[in-house]
């Protein structure tokens, strides 16, 4: 078969390896199939193929080897098919967490295998990013905590998911992300939009600043205020579609303005973490902005209300806010000025200052909830 991708099969069970191999041979993929019962050796082969391989990995057995392979695998290829003799919802969630694009119950059926292998082999880069999520932290009021939330959510998401997480500063005139993280990046959004003609994975990853030893990659705001004026909504769309091919999660920080670029960012986002604090003027503003979101007919569940600087004994209760906004609160982040200020002053994430503080724990749980809810949305398709 021409243009046939390499297919790496990782399976401890010889019989199932041989069955899968015989089906693949029948479909015409035979020359490009490699079978492994040693997952580490299989992973090394995938690495050599530089993101071009389809991997069929069995997770029926439990064990560290499978978990470790999965964590590395999803950094090498986005074309992962997971198989298992157990097909409970929990196993499907586990498979999706491991980066599976497709899940097949065992014994694998010939038609199912043909369908998913054909789908993944025809998957072009644009489709490969279709499950990538843009999560934008927004408030139509300044100083509410957008940057603090974007940074700490992105860094915890990288830890929880072990996936590549982009943190993109689209506060085009007054971005703070690189200051908050004490970074001095060589490139910025303006460079990627205007100068990077070939926005392929390798070039994009070079333009981002990898944050320490994590899988969070930071793209800073433009170096000069006037550069923001030359950025158009169309260019933001192009930027997002390039990023979606590389990063499963894209966390966006932005300004509180509502202008054409801001609307483009909000329209393009899969989730808007719409942030407020608990006081009357902030909630009034929130109401006005929710009306705007409603008028733009955003799908249900796209806008999640986040309460920042939450204090249990506040006079205004969460139920009051929910009643006023006619929306449920998705998450509450506690007030902890000193830990946050120490993180900002030292130019690090909150977890690097005090992971066990109320706010450190809160961001870890927040990231777990976000990733669980995103995965749960995907599981629905396997359950209908
Ligand atoms: N949960 C919190 N508890 C205490 N202080 C907080 C909390 N979240 C944010 N802050 C403080 O609020 C201030 C503003 O935060 P931040 O810069 O993240 O807001 P912003 O919405 O990004 O602002 P801007 O609109 O200027 O971009 C910072 O000094 C930060 O320390
Ligand atoms: Mg900010």
- Which domains does the chain show, CATH number per domain? 7-123 (3.40.50.2300), 133-383 (3.40.50.300)
Query: Which bin fits 182, alpha (ψ -120 to 50), beta or left (φ > 0)?
Result: left
| Confidence (pLDDT) at 376 | 83
Residues in Cβ contact with 295 at an 8 Å cutoff, skipping those fewer than 6 apart: none
pLDDT in tens for each of the 384 residues of the chain?
546 789 999 999 999 999 999 999 999 988 899 999 999 999 999 998 876 789 999 999 988 899 899 888 888 888 999 999 998 988 998 898 888 989 999 999 999 999 999 888 887 644 555 579 999 999 999 999 999 999 999 999 999 998 999 999 999 999 999 999 999 999 999 999 999 988 888 899 999 999 999 999 999 999 999 998 999 999 999 999 999 989 999 999 999 999 999 999 999 999 999 999 999 999 999 999 999 999 999 998 999 999 999 999 999 999 999 999 999 999 999 999 999 999 999 999 999 999 999 999 999 999 999 999 998 877 766 554
Atom index in ligand 1 nearest the CA of residue 148 equals: 18
C-alpha span between 332 and 93 (Å, rounded): 25
Q: Which two tokens stand for residue 332?
A: 């509450």
Instruction: Count other Cβ atoms within 10 Å, centred on residue 313.
Output: 4
What are the respective helix, strand and coil percentages of the chain, to the nearest 5? Answer: 50, 20, 35
Q: What are the backbone dihedrals phi and psi of residue 289, each rounded to the nearest 5 degrees, phi first? A: -70, -35
* N-term to C-term CA, the chain: 33
Atom index in ligand 1 nearest the CA of residue 142 equals: 25
Instruction: Indicate the SS3 state at residue 212.
Output: coil
C-alpha span between 203 and 14 (Å, rounded): 40
Ligand nearest to the CA of 344: 1
Q: Are strands 209-210 and 271-277 parallel, antiparallel or unpaired?
A: unpaired
C-alpha span between 285 and 257 (Å, rounded): 12
* Mutate which of 143, 255, 285 for ligand 1 pocket (most atoms within 8 A of beta carbon): 143
Q: Which residue has the tokens 């009021």?
A: 141
C-alpha span between 31 and 247 (Å, rounded): 31
Q: What is the pTM of this model?
A: 0.85
Whether 159 lines ligand 1, by a CB cut-off of 6 Å, is: no
C-alpha span between 27 and 76 (Å, rounded): 25
Q: Which residue has the tokens 């800073």?
A: 220
- Helix (H) or strand (E) holding 379, with range, is helix 358-383
**Atom 19 of ligand 1, nearest CA residue:** 145
CA distances from 124 to 5, 104, 128 (A): 12, 21, 6
Whether 155 lines ligand 1, by a CB cut-off of 6 Å, is: no
Q: Which two tokens stand for residue 194?
A: 């205007």
Whether 308 lines ligand 1, by a CB cut-off of 6 Å, is: yes
| Confidence (pLDDT) at 129 | 55
Whether 309 lines ligand 1, by a CB cut-off of 6 Å, is: yes
Distance of CA 256 to the CA centre of its chain: 22
Q: How far is the CA of 136 from the centre of ligand 2 (A)?
A: 12
């Amino acid at each position: 078969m021409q243009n046939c991708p390499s297919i790496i099969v990782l399976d401890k069970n010889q019989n199932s390896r041989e069955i899968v191999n015989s089906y693949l041979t029948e479909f015409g993929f035979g020359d490009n199939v490699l079978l492994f019962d040693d997952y580490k050796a299989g992973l090394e082969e995938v690495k050599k193929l530089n993101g071009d391989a389809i991997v069929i990995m069995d997770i029926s057995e439990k064990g560290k080897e499978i978990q470790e392979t999965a964590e590395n695998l999803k950094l090498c290829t986005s074309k992962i098919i997971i198989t298992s003799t157990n097909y409970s919802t929990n196993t499907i969630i586990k498979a999706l967490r491991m980066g599976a694009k497709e899940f097949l119950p065992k014994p694998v059926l010939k038609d199912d295998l043909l369908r998913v292998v054909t789908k993944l082999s025809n998957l072009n880069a644009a489709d490969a990013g279709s499950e990538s999520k843009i999560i934008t932290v927004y408030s139509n009021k300044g100083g509410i905590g957008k940057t603090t939330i974007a940074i700490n959510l992105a860094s915890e998401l990288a830890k929880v998911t072990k996936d590549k997480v982009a943190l993109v500063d689209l506060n085009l005139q007054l971005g703070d992300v690189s200051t908050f993280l004490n970074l001095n990046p060589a490139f910025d959004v303006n460079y990627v939009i205007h100068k990077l003609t070939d926005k392929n994975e390798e070039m994009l990853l070079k333009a981002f600043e990898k944050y320490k030893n994590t899988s969070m990659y930071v793209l800073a705001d433009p170096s000069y205020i006037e550069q923001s004026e030359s950025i158009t909504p169309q260019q933001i769309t192009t930027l997002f579609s390039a990023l979606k091919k590389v990063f499963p999660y894209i966390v966006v920080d932005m300004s509180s303005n509502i202008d054409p670029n801001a609307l483009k960012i909000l329209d393009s986002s899969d989730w808007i973490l719409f942030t407020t604090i608990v006081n009357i003027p902030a909630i009034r503003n929130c109401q006005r902005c929710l009306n705007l979101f409603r008028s733009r007919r955003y799908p249900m569940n796209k806008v999640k209300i986040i309460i920042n600087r939450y204090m249990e004994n506040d006079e205004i209760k969460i139920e009051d806010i929910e009643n006023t906004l006619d929306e449920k609160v998705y998450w509450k982040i506690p007030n902890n000025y000193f830990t946050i200020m120490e993180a900002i002053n030292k130019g690090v994430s909150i977890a690097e200052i005090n992971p066990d503080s109320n706010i450190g724990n809160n961001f870890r749980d927040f990231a777990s909830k976000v990733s669980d809810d995103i995965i749960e949305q995907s599981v629905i398709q396997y359950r209908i």
